[in-house]
Structure 1
Amino acid sequence: MIKWSRLVLFLVVVGLLGGLFTTTGQVASNITLGLDLKGGFEILYQVEPLNEGQKVDTTLLAATAQMVEKRVNIGGVTEPEVNVELPDRIRVRIASHDADQEKLRELIGKPAVLTFRDVEGKTMMKGSDLAPGGAAVGYDELKRPLVTVKFKEPKLLEDVTRANLGKPMGIFLDDTMQTNPTIQSVISGGSAQITGNYTQESAQELADLLNSGAMPAKLIEKQVTSVGATLGAMSLEKTLYAGYIGGAFIFLFMLVVYRLPGLVANITLAAFIYLSLLFLDWMDATLTLPGIAGFILGIGMAVDANIITYERIQEEIRSGKTILSAFRAGERRSLVTILDAQVTALIAAVVLYFFGTSSIQGFAIISMLTTIVSIFTNVFASRFLLGLLIRTNLFKKPSWFGVKESEIGEL
């Protein structure tokens, strides 16, 4: 007896999946591309302590990485990728071909230590004495941009200006003098001005730099890698082209060799690709060439899970069992092998993530994601859909499962 309700349920599920697949392009376009696909540059810094006796530990590395990210944002670049690499490295990735590389490198490498010095070069006040967010852009009488600074303790500024009344006081950013005004009167309001040949943009940049604070450690630039926008686009285009060709062969192979189960495998494989892209979008992950390699490996793992099950089902059919009995025995006996392979892949990906460098970690994250998704789509979902079709009683011939009548009873 044909069970049409199961066929209808199968078609409804496939229809819902088909509706989701129409949004694949939108989901894929939301995924952030790495610099090797989009173009940009990568800088590797070695972190060294500023003061004698200071140690480079995880706390200092984290604080320095946070400051580096602030500096990159000041340069007008959003969502930089700043990674700490133990024991003493920080890797900065800027996936933008429009970013000014030289300007950003100068911003990141600048300690930005603000000091107020007397005529003998003695430091009277520091940038750390500024109030939070105390630097801002102002204008003089001729509407020329300048930077105003406000101190946490107005009394400090008052005492310093009183002690140096009538004397010049240099205002230095790192070791570069910004201005050298003569103190004409005691400043009691807690505010001062840094004047110079500033434009609106450079004054705002200096104010942002002072508000972000000084770099807590010294950065030594060890390596700079640049990828042009054209080269990145070419890499992405060739990778996608290879993926389309490989995917087409996989879909064709599954249909030709496994027939009905192959059709189900292709449906769940499409669901696997869609869900993996969707999770990448939700995670706000950056997709790089190593990540795409992990994605392709995940497709192979997903297909392999189906092949193991379907080969087992074919063996059970050849032994003389009915289609439903062969399906039940095949899915049961193949499950342990599949889960063992998936768990092994997960363990390998976890090890790569914790002990690998940044690019290897990207590969590992994608591998973990695709392995977990494939367990859901190409193990349990594919068995559910194939079970629906078999239980409709419409597909009782062994040929639907890639088995010839002459092969039955050979085992």
Structure 2
Amino acid sequence: MLNFSKINIILIYLIFFLISIFSVLNFQHKDNLILDKKVNLGLDLQGGSYLLLEINSDSLVEEKIQSKVIPIKKLFRENNLIYSDFKINKKDLTFKINDFEKFELFFFSRKENLINPYIDNYRAFELDYKKLNDNYVQVSFSKFGLLTINNSALKQSIEIVRRRIDDVGTKEPTILQRGEKRILVELPGLKDPERIKKLLGKTAKLNFRMVSENSEFGVDELISEIGESLKISKRIVMSGENLIDAQPSIQNQQNEPTVSFTLDRIGSQKFGRTTTDNVGKRLAIVLDGKIISAPNINEPITSGKGVISGNFSFQEATDLALLLRSGALPTPLDVVEERTVGPDLGEDSIKSGITSLIVGFILVIFFMLYKYRLFGLVANIALIANLLMLVGVLTILEATLTLPGIAGIILTVGMAVDANVLIFERIKEELKTEKSIIHAFDSGYSKAKITVLDANITTLIAAVILFAFGSGPVKGFAITLGIGILTTLFTAYFLARHLTSIIVLRKNNTTLKI
């Protein structure tokens, strides 16, 4: 155990140097970056904004229930089921059926029917029904159906929220699912959350519709951004799903901020056909039910590229382009809870954490020197190397350090010397029976290895479980603890063991006290 080849020695110190050098990157100046990597501070250390969002799936349920109308009526016709008084409500459909028993038998006995498109054995029905008076039936989404809609909307919303926040440039945001309908957003370093709230509060459903001069059926009356009342067709020429890209730009001699957009192939065809057939007319650009622009079509636009203008400031044009790029949210998002953590609180947390780390570090160093003298110095060198490697790995991963993460580092300090204590105590036992100092140290390291590995591996398993099932601060603690265990094993059984071997081999013929 005390014999090291030259290759092993080179590898040990090369690994230590390459990992530890990354810890220095945290002290580099912003204007002179060697490599843009560092440990990021979490919300509790740096300050920032905390938002808890909740999806409002009412509009999505209404949209989904309306999509069932045509398939249900088609199935009625195909199976000679006579119905009347068919009404579309916000969350359900009601109708009168002439033969309720046939309706019930049809909808729950055939696997290919609409009500039961999933697993019949487990009654995982998307829709459910309830009989009302006089053979009236109410069809609505079942609990399973609502859960499916919410889960799909939540996952899509998380992805779109992530895109929007990433485009803003916020460093190391935390975006997590909370329960069935909520999204947790933590934005370290963000002092003014108002812009983010506005971006996340818009569903960004974009569509293009023709302005109509008539008041016939199928026309909506909407107010434009400049206060102009316009009648626009309900028919959607093209939706935001056909957009490939959107970027802020400056147009015309007045340097007016606008948004330039690019369409996909299908969108280009639709847009080209519409602008060709309606030269001289106005095309309304509607975002979340509001007209943001209604320009005249001066000529056919067949290139698949266009411009949205609307008396924007450059910030508004930038945000609009961001919303269009990230896509529309499936449902509106409501802010359930909002907190802003000030930087002063974060500074207090950092000071407390650093003070605890320094005090613990100094006490451990003095204890090891008092208890094991020269070999205590070896353990202390290994401890310093352990901390450098731990910070180095966190820097490589660009991890976010939270207050529980600092607690994990402090715990690592104690566990790092614990490995050396186990080894040195085992060596003491071997020195009582062995005449050869080299053999006693070699045997001590060999016999203590299993105990040290068992102790650290069980802790590592606990850290993995905490990371897998924990959230937020718990994950931060688990990451630093897990990395600390790995660096502890490396420094104890490679670095400290090599330094110990140097002392033992040089003082082989003298008495060594430990």
Q: Where on the TM-score scale, by shorter chain, does this alignment land: which range?
A: 0.7 to 0.9
How many residues of Structure 1 are paired with residues of Structure 2 in the alignment?
A: 393
Matching residue within 184, 187, 191 for 1:91: 184
CA contact (8 A) 1:48 1:219 kept: yes
Report whether the alignment pairs 1:212 with 2:326. Answer: yes
Matching residue within 174, 179, 196 for 1:104: 196
1:335 matched to which residue of 2?
449
Instruction: Tell me the secondary structure at the aligned position of residue 328 of structure 2.
Output: coil
CA contact (8 A) 2:276 2:299 kept: yes
2:159 matched to which residue of 1?
66
Matching residue within 483, 486, 489 for 1:375: 489
Matching residue within 48, 51, 56 for 2:60: 51
How do residues 147-186 of structure 1 correspond to structure 2 at under 5 angstroms?
A: 147-152=259-264, 153-161=267-275, 169-181=283-295
How do residues 378-389 of structure 1 correspond to structure 2 at under 5 angstroms?
A: 378-389=492-503
How do residues 235-250 of structure 1 correspond to structure 2 at under 5 angstroms?
A: 235-250=349-364
How do residues 240-389 of structure 1 correspond to structure 2 at under 5 angstroms?
A: 240-318=354-432, 321-389=435-503
C-alpha spacing 1:395/1:100, structure 2 compared with 1 (3 Å): farther
C-alpha spacing 1:329/1:129, structure 2 compared with 1 (3 Å): closer
Distance of 1:139 and 1:349 partners within structure 2: 56
2:50 matched to which residue of 1?
42
Matching residue within 23, 26, 29 for 2:24: 26
CA contact (8 A) 1:130 1:149 kept: no
Distance of 1:160 and 1:78 partners within structure 2: 42
Residue 370 of structure 1 deviates from its aligned partner by 0.9
Instruction: Tell me the secondary structure at the aligned position of residue 440 of structure 2.
Output: helix
Residue 221 of structure 1 deviates from its aligned partner by 3.0
Instruction: Tell me the secondary structure at the aligned position of residue 305 of structure 1.
Output: helix
Residue 371 of structure 1 deviates from its aligned partner by 0.7
CA contact (8 A) 1:114 1:172 kept: yes
Instruction: Tell me the secondary structure at the aligned position of residue 91 of structure 1.
Output: strand
2:256 matched to which residue of 1?
144
Instruction: Tell me the secondary structure at the aligned position of residue 43 of structure 1.
Output: strand
Moved more, 61-70 or 360-369: 61-70
Letter in 2 for 1:39: G
Instruction: Tell me the secondary structure at the aligned position of residue 349 of structure 2.
Output: helix
Residue 218 of structure 1 deviates from its aligned partner by 4.2
Distance of 1:245 and 1:128 partners within structure 2: 58
Distance of 1:17 and 1:156 partners within structure 2: 59
Instruction: Tell me the secondary structure at the aligned position of residue 236 of structure 2.
Output: strand
Distance of 1:381 and 1:191 partners within structure 2: 62
Instruction: Tell me the secondary structure at the aligned position of residue 383 of structure 1.
Output: helix
Moved more, 270-279 or 77-86: 77-86
Letter in 2 for 1:51: L
Distance of 2:363 and 2:15 partners within structure 1: 22
2:175 matched to which residue of 1?
82
Residue 249 of structure 1 deviates from its aligned partner by 0.8
Instruction: Tell me the secondary structure at the aligned position of residue 391 of structure 1.
Output: helix
Instruction: Tell me the secondary structure at the aligned position of residue 100 of structure 1.
Output: coil
For structure 2, the 5+ residue unaligned runs are 28-37, 65-145, 213-218, 221-233
CA contact (8 A) 2:199 2:319 kept: no
TM-score (norm 2): 0.67
CA contact (8 A) 1:41 1:224 kept: yes
Residue 142 of structure 1 deviates from its aligned partner by 3.5
1:234 matched to which residue of 2?
348
TM-score (norm 1): 0.82
Instruction: Tell me the secondary structure at the aligned position of residue 145 of structure 1.
Output: strand
C-alpha spacing 1:57/1:315, structure 2 compared with 1 (3 Å): farther
Instruction: Tell me the secondary structure at the aligned position of residue 332 of structure 1.
Output: helix
CA contact (8 A) 1:32 1:287 kept: yes
Moved more, 280-289 or 40-49: 40-49
Instruction: Tell me the secondary structure at the aligned position of residue 71 of structure 1.
Output: helix
C-alpha spacing 1:360/1:18, structure 2 compared with 1 (3 Å): closer
Distance of 1:19 and 1:207 partners within structure 2: 45
Distance of 2:246 and 2:496 partners within structure 1: 61
Instruction: Tell me the secondary structure at the aligned position of residue 203 of structure 2.
Output: coil
Letter in 1 for 2:206: L
Letter in 1 for 2:193: Q
Deviation per CA, 1:153-181: give whole Å up to 9, x if none.
Answer: 34423444577677655322113331344
Q: Percent identity between the aligned chains?
A: 32
Deviation per CA, 1:26-75: give whole Å up to 9, x if none.
Answer: 24433211121112122233456563357368876554333222212343
Deviation per CA, 1:7-27: give whole Å up to 9, x if none.
Answer: xxxx99999999889968624
1:132 matched to which residue of 2?
244
Residue 100 of structure 1 deviates from its aligned partner by 2.5
Letter in 1 for 2:198: E
Deviation per CA, 1:306-363: give whole Å up to 9, x if none.
Answer: 1111122223334575533432332222222111111100110111111111221121
1:114 matched to which residue of 2?
206
CA contact (8 A) 2:23 2:392 kept: no
C-alpha spacing 1:190/1:274, structure 2 compared with 1 (3 Å): closer
Instruction: Give the CA RMSD over aligned residues.
Output: 3.6
CA contact (8 A) 1:268 1:377 kept: yes
Q: Give the greater-gyration-radius structure (CA).
A: 2
Letter in 2 for 1:26: V
C-alpha spacing 1:151/1:325, structure 2 compared with 1 (3 Å): closer
Distance of 1:343 and 1:101 partners within structure 2: 42
Report whether the alignment pairs 1:392 with 2:506. Answer: yes
CA contact (8 A) 1:71 1:107 kept: yes
CA contact (8 A) 2:246 2:322 kept: no
Moved more, 37-46 or 299-308: 37-46
CA contact (8 A) 1:389 1:395 kept: no
CA contact (8 A) 2:207 2:237 kept: yes
Residue 231 of structure 1 deviates from its aligned partner by 1.6
